[in-house]
Amino acid sequence: MRPSWDEYYMEMAEVAKKRSTCNRRQVGAVIVKDQRILASGYNGAPSGLPHCSETGCIRQKLNVPSGERHELCRGLHAEQNAIIQAALHGVPIEGSAIYVTHKPCVICTKMMINAGIKKLIYQGDYPDSLSEEMLKEAGILVEKYTKDKES
């Protein structure tokens, strides 16, 4: 059976997350507009730098709870990498949708707002109430992905 668009793009985000080098949570993201994939990303260290899988996790060492102190991390988030890849290659993403394997943190949310992303489809939850509040304020359409849902 042919997958729905939502299923197709979320499966692509799941594939992207397999490249993640984060020791705590693997995340993938795919930016889509007009049924075309514009960019993808996964969480990991900046290009050319050692990954957390090699150096160890700063956040684990300091017992930083999930959803807090995002600046204490070597890695970029999947959403950040997807937005950066689009910018690096001159791909406009204004008015697009982003499919993410986990709900975004507030930093990624702010980047999505300023990048002009209009819709977020996410699968797993993430503990960041400020992110939820800002998504609402910005008028970004937010949907939790369920495999049974067709689009």
Burial, 28: exposed, middle or buried (Cβ in 10 Å; 0-12, 13-18, 19+)? Answer: buried
How do the residues of the chain divide into helix, strand and coil, expressed in percent and rounded to 5? 35, 20, 45
143 is catalytic: no
β-partners of residue 114 are none
- Is residue 73 a known part of a binding site? no
Helix (H) / strand (E) containing 84 = helix 78-88
- Is residue 22 a known part of a binding site? no
- Is residue 52 a known part of a binding site? no
Catalytic residue among 79, 94, 132, 143: 79
Q: What are the two backbone dihedrals, phi and then psi, of residue 5, each rounded to the nearest 5 degrees?
A: -60, -45
Binding site feature residues for Zn(2+): 77, 105, 108
Task: Return the active site residues.
Answer: 79
